[in-house]
């Protein structure tokens, strides 16, 4: 041992002596182990798992929050979803233009404790060929099934309901869709038709949620007017007792 240690380092065949085997083995083991750790971390970042991922930098990815319909002790009523604050309007939802967004004006009548409303005439968007084409498309999608392509009240749904009623199917209570081209509907203010689309009328349901864009609704009003111009003037239909009342 002593004699080996005493040997001075020297070149063997012009090279330094190679690193001992145990050192190389140890280095290789360390490198492999560190790679294993890295591989494990990468796997936990990318693989499909049922537990939340390993998340080294939290940022704001995980935080305490209240989800829809959950309970909370923060508010007295225990609801996590908060109602609108009275007297406030969400950004972009002011919709201050009565004519464009509602088709009527309403003022509070203090004496009678109710709103006085007036339907407005005129279509508050530019009526051109493109608008009428858009109205035709929307009408044929949302209104035609009941009112028919010509608006005279004989769409496929109406025809089928008529047939079921004629066949005496139990529980069939059907109000015929109005003829949109009769005298009464010709005389309605534009805003009245607009409001019928948005909120429905009598036995007709509302379509405001399906047709949300006010321009689309006015396009339908314009198209209904076009149908009226192109149709023969008819007396209000008296096919069913309900329709006669309309």
When the beta carbons of 99 and 155 are compared against ligand HEC, the nearer one is: 155
- Which listed residue (120, 127, 131, 146) binds ligand HEC by CB under 6 A? 146
Contact 165, 174 (CB under 8 A): yes
When the beta carbons of 79 and 192 are compared against ligand HEC, the nearer one is: 192
In SS3 terms, 137-197 reads as: HHHHHHCHHHHCCCCCCCCHHHHHHHHHHHCCCCCCCCCCCCCCCEHHHHHCCHHHHHHHH
Q: Which of 5, 220, 191, 1 is nearest to 99 (CA)?
A: 191
- Which listed residue (99, 102, 134, 188) binds ligand HEC by CB under 6 A? 188
- CA 40 – CA 25 distance, rounded (Å): 22
Window contacting ligand HEC (CB under 6 A); options: 70-78, 90-98, 128-136, 189-197: 189-197
Q: Could you say whether residue 160 binds ligand HEC (CB under 6 A)? A: no
Q: Could you say whether residue 197 binds ligand HEC (CB under 6 A)? A: yes
- What minimum distance in Å lies between the beta carbon of 138 and ligand HEC? 7
- What minimum distance in Å lies between the beta carbon of 71 and ligand HEC? 39
- Which listed residue (34, 72, 81, 203) binds ligand HEC by CB under 6 A? 203
What number of chain residues touch ligand HEC (CB under 6 A)? 24
Q: Which of 70, 93, 65, 89 is nearest to 81 (CA)?
A: 70
Contact 237, 243 (CB under 8 A): yes
Q: Which of 184, 115, 178 is nearest to 148 (CA)?
A: 178
User: Binding residues for ligand HEC, per CB under 6 A?
Assistant: 142-143, 145-147, 157, 175, 177-178, 180, 185, 188, 192-193, 196-197, 201-204, 207, 220, 224, 246
């Amino acid at each position: 041992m002593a004699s080996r240690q005493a040997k001075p380092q020297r070149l063997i065949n012009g090279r330094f002596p190679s690193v001992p085997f145990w050192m190389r083995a140890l280095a290789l083991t360390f490198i492999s182990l560190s790679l294993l750790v890295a591989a494990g971390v990468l796997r936990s970042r990318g693989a499909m798992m049922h537990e939340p991922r390993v998340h080294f930098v939290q940022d704001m990815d995980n935080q305490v929050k209240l989800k829809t319909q959950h309970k909370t002790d923060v508010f007295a009523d225990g609801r996590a979803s908060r109602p609108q604050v009275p007297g406030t309007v969400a950004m972009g939802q002011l919709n201050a233009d009565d004519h464009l967004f509602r088709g009527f004006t309403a003022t509070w009548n203090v004496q009678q404790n109710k709103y006085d409303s007036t339907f407005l005439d005129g279509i508050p968007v530019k009526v051109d060929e493109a608008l009428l084409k858009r109205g035709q498309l929307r009408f044929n999608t949302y209104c035609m099934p009941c009112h028919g392509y010509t608006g005279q009240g004989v769409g496929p749904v109406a025809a089928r309901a008529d047939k079921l009623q004629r066949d005496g199917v139990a529980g069939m209570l059907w109000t015929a869709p109005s003829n949109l081209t009769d005298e009464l509907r010709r005389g309605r203010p534009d805003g009245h038709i607009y409001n019928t689309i948005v909120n429905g009328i009598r036995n007709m349901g509302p379509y405001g949620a399906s047709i949300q864009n006010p321009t689309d609704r006015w396009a339908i009003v314009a198209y209904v007017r076009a149908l009226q111009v192109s149709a023969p003037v008819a007396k209000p239909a008296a096919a069913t007792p309900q329709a006669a009342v309309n």
